[in-house]
Structures are given as C-alpha cells and as structure tokens.
C-alpha cells in the first residue's frame, strides 16, 4: 500500500514554492516559512478574496493552504501531512504527541470565502475527552473580531493554544500515528469540492 503523504511530497513542495513566488510578485515580500509571515499571507488572501472563479481558486486555495500547513509543520514538533493525491479536502496536518488534526487548505478556503465550507474539515479534530480542555484554553484567548476569525494568523494562534493545552496533559509514550488518524477521519467523496 502506498503512503499518501510520501506520494504527494513533490506536490507539497511545488505548492509551497508557488505560493512564495505568487506572494512575492503580488506584494513584493518574501515568505520565509515562519509564523511571522502569516500576516503577509493574510494580506495576500484579502487581496484575492473577491476572486471566486473556480479555476483561480483551484490553484490559490491549495498553494496558500500548503504554505500555511508547512509553517505549522515547521513550528510544531511531530506535525506531519496526510495528503492523499489530489483530494485536497481530505488533506490534513496531524500531530503525533497529541490527537489534533485539521485541514490547512480548508482553513484557507474558509478565509477566502469568509465563512465555513462544508466538507473541508477546517475545524480542529480532537478526541471528545480533550474538547473541554481545548475549549477552556481557547476562552482564555478572548473574543476574536469577525474580520479576524478566518485569518491564518488567527488560526495559527488557535492551533498553538490547542496544541499546548493537549501536550501539557500528555503522558510519556503517548503517540498518535497515521493509523489512528485514518480511523478517526472518515472521508466523504461527495463533499468539499471547489
């Protein structure tokens, strides 16, 4: 059986590099893969928000989502991609030290569309027992203005808060491998299309 992530590594690198070039051309700033560049990506996404042509979104959403996912992967230990071919609505970042996953491409799509998008799994996928802990940690962040809710820089803060809350209570030896996530993330062929 092939590994969906290994099979997509070239696609991930291509999308990341394409995003970096597109942002450089549009706003004359280089993205360096750090969390400090997420406000720049937010600015770029605001600039293209009114571009809802399917052919444009089918490139912009994955390239910006992959860049965001790569920032997450570089920042958090044990973060990895699950990336099955071209079904971008099923892509996700998973963490091995706690059960936490989400689709960064879906998060970008929601940001461009300014609202939740069914089937894109942009929410934080958690174990039921961990939800109260994460909810309590997120309450401490305070209210978020509606304009900021879908920005990737805000989503990074939410992910970081959830990750820290979950890893603070993890035990030595806790490990959530890809097989655990496959069991907890069913796919639906009919939803989440651009």
Asked if the structure places residue 130 within a domain, the reply is yes
Asked if the structure places residue 43 within a domain, the reply is yes
- Tell me: pLDDT of 192 over 80: no
Q: Which domain holds residue 83?
A: 4-184
Asked if the structure places residue 52 within a domain, the reply is yes
pLDDT in tens, 1-52: 446 666 688 999 999 999 999 999 999 999 999 999 999 999 999 888 776 6
Distance in angstroms (rounded) separating the CA atoms of residues 41 and 163: 22
- Tell me: pLDDT of 190 over 70: no
> Is 25 exposed, middle or buried, given 0-12, 13-18 or 19+ CB atoms closer than 10 A?
exposed
Asked whether the beta carbons of 115 and 125 are under 8 A apart, the reply is no
Burial 94-120 (b: 16+ CB within 10 A, else e): bbbbbbbbbbbbbbbbbbbeeeebebb
Give this prediction's pTM.
0.91
List alpha helices for 49-177, DSSP H.
Answer: 54-75, 104-113, 131-139, 152-168
Number of H helices, E strands in the chain: 8, 4
Task: Taking residues 67-88, report their average pLDDT.
Answer: 94
The percent of the chain in helix, strand and coil, each rounded to the nearest 5, is: 55, 5, 40
- Tell me: pLDDT of 163 over 90: yes
Asked whether the beta carbons of 155 and 73 are under 8 A apart, the reply is no
Distance in angstroms (rounded) separating the CA atoms of residues 176 and 112: 31
Asked if the structure places residue 191 within a domain, the reply is no
Asked if the structure places residue 68 within a domain, the reply is yes
Asked if the structure places residue 193 within a domain, the reply is no
Please, what is the average pLDDT of the chain?
89
- Number of domains within the chain: 1
* Residue listed under structure tokens 């990737």: 152
Asked if the structure places residue 192 within a domain, the reply is no
pLDDT level of residue 138 (50, 70, 90 thresholds) = very high
Asked if the structure places residue 102 within a domain, the reply is yes
């Amino acid at each position: 059986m092939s590994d969906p992530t290994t099979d997509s590594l070239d696609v991930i690198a291509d999308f990341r590099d394409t995003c970096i070039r597109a942002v450089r051309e549009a706003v004359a700033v280089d993205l360096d893969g750090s969390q400090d560049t997420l406000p720049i990506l937010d600015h770029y996404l605001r600039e293209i928000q009114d571009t809802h042509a399917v052919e444009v979104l089918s490139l912009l959403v994955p390239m910006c989502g992959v860049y965001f996912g790569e920032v997450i992967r570089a920042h958090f230990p044990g973060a990895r991609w699950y990336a099955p071919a071209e079904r971008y609505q099923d892509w996700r970042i998973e963490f091995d030290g706690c059960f936490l996953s989400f689709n960064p491409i879906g998060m970008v799509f929601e940001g461009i569309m300014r609202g939740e998008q069914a089937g894109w799994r942009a929410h934080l996928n958690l174990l039921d027992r961990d939800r109260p802990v994460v909810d309590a940690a997120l309450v401490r962040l305070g209210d978020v203005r509606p304009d900021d809710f879908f920005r990737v820089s805000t989503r990074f803060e939410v992910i970081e808060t959830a990750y820290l809350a979950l890893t603070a209570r993890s035990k030595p030896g806790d490990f959530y491998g890809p097989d655990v996530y496959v069991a907890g993330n069913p796919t639906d062929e009919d939803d989440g299309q651009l």
